[in-house]
Amino acid sequence: MRFIRLSGFLLCVFLVAGCRSGPDISGTATPAELVQRAQEASDRNRYNRSLEYYEMILERFPGDKDYVCAAEYEIGFIHYKQKKYDLAKIELKKLLDKYDQVDAELLPPQYRILADIVIVKIDERQMKKTKVPRGR
């Protein structure tokens, strides 16, 4: 009887531990550590977990332009990989709007280039989708 109760208890512990709602990361993690964790999650196709890490960067380090641009680009790119094209396009255009503001020269240029490339790919995919096949 004790064995059954103990094994039931252990099963509950494992189930609860496996169902954590968010990433396990301390509040002292640097932006670089969060990016590393996000990339690792993305590499394993755990896109929702990856998005959580990028959102943490936006929440914890809103003044760090380099990491904010990186996180915003990666969020848009993950949505692109998930085929959420409309959402990805909105997010990437929001990022691109920053490059039209006063201090744009302080932003990392690579995310402007990458966002433009992804938006072109989205437009191409959406154009292919809307084309009507010609009848014979």
- Three-state SS sequence of 105-122: HHCCHHHHHHHHHHHHHH
Classify residue 24 by its DSSP letter.
Answer: -
Per-residue pLDDT reduced to its tens digit, 57-97:
999 999 999 999 999 999 999 999 999 999 999 999 999 99
The reported pTM is 0.78
Q: Is 67 helix (H, G, I), strand (E, B) or coil?
A: helix
Of the candidates 16, 57, 20, 62, the one whose C-alpha atom is nearest the C-alpha of residue 38 is 57
Of the candidates 83, 92, 78, 89, the one whose C-alpha atom is nearest the C-alpha of residue 46 is 78
100-114: burial string, b at 16+ Cβ within 10 Å, e else: eeeeeeebeeebbeb
What percent of the chain lies above the pLDDT cut of 90? 71
What mean pLDDT, rounded, does the chain reach?
85
107: left (phi over 0), alpha (psi -120 to 50) or beta: beta
